[in-house]
Amino acid sequence: KNEVEQSPQNLTAQEGEFITINCSYSVGISALHWLQQHPGGGIVSLFMLSSGKKKHGRLIATINIQEKHSSLHITASHPRDSAVYICAPYPRLHTGNQFYFGTGTSLTVIP
Partner 1 sequence: KAGVTQTPRYLIKTRGQQVTLSCSPISGHRSVSWYQQTPGQGLQFLFEYFSETQRNKGNFPGRFSGRQFSNSRSEMNVSTLELGDSALYLCASSLGSAGGSTDTQYFGPGTRLTVL
- Chain residues binding partner 1 by CB under 8 A are 30-31, 33, 40-45, 48, 50, 86, 88, 90, 94, 96-99, 101-104
CB of 49 to partner 1, least distance (A): 10
CB-nearer residue toward partner 1: 33 or 109: 33
Cα→Cα distances 97→15, 69, 89, Å: 37, 19, 10
CB of 18 to partner 1, least distance (A): 26
Cβ(77)–Cβ(24) under 8 Å? Answer: no
CB-nearer residue toward partner 1: 13 or 86: 86
Distance CA 94, CA 28 (A): 10
Cβ(21)–Cβ(109) under 8 Å? Answer: no
CB of 35 to partner 1, least distance (A): 8
